[in-house]
Amino acid sequence: MTETSYLHAVRASYDAVAVDYARLVGPALAGKPLDRAMLAAFAEYVHGGGARGRAVADLGCGPGRLTAHLDGLGVRAFGVDLSPAMVAVARRTYPGLRFEVGSMAALDVADGVLGGVLAWYSTVHTPPSELGPVFTECARVLAPGGYVLIAFEAGDARIRLEHAYGHPVELDVYGTPPDLIAELLAAAGLTEVSRLLRAPDPGERFPQGFLLARRD
């Protein structure tokens, strides 16, 4: 895969903010009961599905908070992130878990081996026109009966960030309608199981969307 310019910008921006991001964001999912509920449901589906016992990839894992959360739910999770600095923070913070540098659009994972894929707001910097190949890659690495959970900004606009977590950045944040996420997942061969839309919490720009799908 030829890397596009937006991936260069995302990597450079998250390399710059990695340490302060981990410090400022704080504990995963504090005060977010619906988010925790979707992750708990995802873990239960993975445990009980046709691909149970297989590993789960946390794509765009950042400093590893969600990878560790899944591990706490009994899921054999590992993290993948585009930013080497984020991966370094994750490895220091959670030395008992596995973290790798990689792109969710070109995973170094064999076909059909994973029990689950989590993309927790890790697609928000991907232009909607380029989401299809990302979801196709998610489907490729899932075993039959495996599940994918996508968390995303449920809007229909692009926001440009030039400063975040105390650093200059070059990041576009895309809101994506839930129906479009569902259509793209279906086109990749993934069947919708459930979706949740919640109102934005303070500091969030859009309603927050969560969509769970299965590879049949």
**Read out DSSP for 11-61?**
HHHHHHHHHHHHHHH-STTTT-HHHHHHHHHHHHHHHHSTTTTS-EEEET-
Angle at 32 between CA 96 and CA 205, to 5 degrees: 110
State pTM to two decimals. Answer: 0.95
What is the per-residue pLDDT for 1? 36
Query: pLDDT per position in the chain (216 positions), as tens?
Result: 335 678 999 999 999 999 999 988 877 698 999 999 999 999 999 999 888 889 999 999 999 999 999 999 999 999 999 999 999 999 999 999 999 999 999 999 999 999 999 999 999 999 999 999 999 999 999 999 999 999 999 999 999 989 988 999 999 999 999 999 999 999 999 999 999 999 999 988 899 999 999 999
- Note the pLDDT of residue 159: 93
Q: Is the distance from CB of 63 to CB of 125 less than 8 angstroms? A: no
> What is the structure's pLDDT at 180?
98
Neighbouring C-beta atoms of residue 172, cutoff 10 Å: 15
Q: For position 73, what pLDDT does the model report? A: 96
Q: What does the pLDDT look like over 159-214, one tens digit per residue?
A: 998 998 899 999 999 999 999 999 999 999 999 999 999 999 998 889 999 999 99
pLDDT reported for residue 2: 39
Which has the closest alpha carbon to 151: 48, 41, 4? 41
- Cα 95-166-121 angle, rounded to 5 deg: 60
**pLDDT computed for residue 52 by the predictor:** 84
